[in-house]
Amino acid sequence: MSTIRVLFAISGAVILFGTARVYSSIEVADSRSTLCSKAFQQAQPGRSVTTAGILAPNKSLVAWSEATLEPAANIFRTAVIIRDKTTGTSETVFRTQTNQAGQIVGPTGKAFEWANADQFCVIDWSRDSGHLLVREVIGRTEADNRTANVWIYALQAKRRSVIPLSALHRAIVDHWKRKGVNFHGVDYLLDPDGWEDSDRPRPAFIVTVLEGPPTNFPSGFDDFLGVWSVSLSGAEPKLLTENRNLNVVRRYGQVKSEQPSSR
């Protein structure tokens, strides 16, 4: 069972998660998306696997992903579970949704007839432990046709919402066009990997060029489009740095070594 790698193109931007090339001082092996991919690769028919738990800054909440390969239905399902260590209770806050025909359903209710895998991955907790950043990948194994969503779960309101990325895309293109980049035929990657160091929770994305004609870029351009952040609603996109060696992404959750349990 191969995990999903290449995802989808949105307004010319290719979003890559599972084995994303992360250009920053953070190594690829340390990417939260990579942690999920490694765990999901261990899934066997009829058996569940879990990712490492991510402990919230308040030390009382832990979140993780659980994956199950169902051979009879030919579907790879996942869920995100939050356990409150104080009360000893657990709650499933995301899970693969299917319709009556057994087809995977996205957040808008649209069925993906061609998809047989849906992967939810816990990225990180916000600084105040009030929001959980999650990315979802819907696709078909051993193929390149993918779609993805970046989600926020608000703990107090118990509300799930998808972060729109259109404003971020426009900001990236407009910024680099002013610097001489021609985006015709250029694909670039967005990888949600944590948060901006801010009083308000603002998810941070590492953005790099995947492919494009060399003549589309100014001399000395190194394929790095910067680290960007947006508000929880996808508004107010902001460039945090153009320096690939400057680590401005903050992760507030702690990866736990022991296997998580909902009991």
pLDDT in tens, 171-212: 999 999 999 999 999 988 888 999 999 999 999 999 999 889
- CA distance to 52, 89, 186, 194, 198, per residue, from 128 (Å): 21, 20, 37, 13, 11
Residues 6+ apart with CB under 8 A from 130: 154, 155, 156, 201
CA atoms of 224 and 170, how far apart (whole Å): 16
Instruction: Show the CA angle centred on residue 102, arms to residues 44 and 143, nearest 5°.
Output: 60
- Bridge-based pairing of strands 48-50 and 54-55 is unpaired
Indicate whether 261 belongs to any domain.
no
pLDDT band at 263; cut points 50, 70, 90: low
Count how many residues are written for the chain: 263
CB 101 within 8 A of CB 111: yes
- 73 pLDDT higher than 90: no
Indicate whether 262 belongs to any domain.
no
CA atoms of 250 and 256, how far apart (whole Å): 17
Domain membership of residue 59 as a residue range: 6-255
Q: Which two tokens stand for residue 157?
A: 């309101």
- 71 pLDDT higher than 70: yes
Indicate whether 93 belongs to any domain.
yes
Mean predicted lDDT score pLDDT of the chain: 86
**What confidence score (pLDDT) does residue 257 get?**
76
More confident residue, 25 or 178: 178
Indicate whether 1 belongs to any domain.
no
CB 229 within 8 A of CB 196: yes
**What confidence score (pLDDT) does residue 148 get?**
84
Q: What share of the chain is helix, strand, coil (3-state, %, to 5)?
A: 10, 40, 50
Ranges 42-46, 127-131, 155-159, 163-167: which has the least confidence: 42-46
- CA distance to 35, 53, 114, 116, 206, per residue, from 39 (Å): 6, 11, 24, 18, 22
| Max CA pair span of the chain | 59
Percent above pLDDT 70 for the chain: 86
Percent above pLDDT 90 for the chain: 68
pTM of the model: 0.87
- 39 pLDDT higher than 80: yes
Indicate whether 105 belongs to any domain.
yes
What would the mean pLDDT of 8-37 be, rounded to a whole number? Answer: 47
Q: Smallest Cα–Cα separation from 131: which of 186, 75, 73, 195?
A: 195
Domain count, the chain: 1
What would the mean pLDDT of 88-113 be, rounded to a whole number? Answer: 95
- 108 pLDDT higher than 70: yes
Indicate whether 263 belongs to any domain.
no
More confident residue, 252 or 4: 252
Residues 6+ apart with CB under 8 A from 190: 13, 15, 16, 165, 168, 205, 206, 207
**What confidence score (pLDDT) does residue 144 get?**
62
Indicate whether 205 belongs to any domain.
yes
Indicate whether 202 belongs to any domain.
yes
CA atoms of 227 and 198, how far apart (whole Å): 14
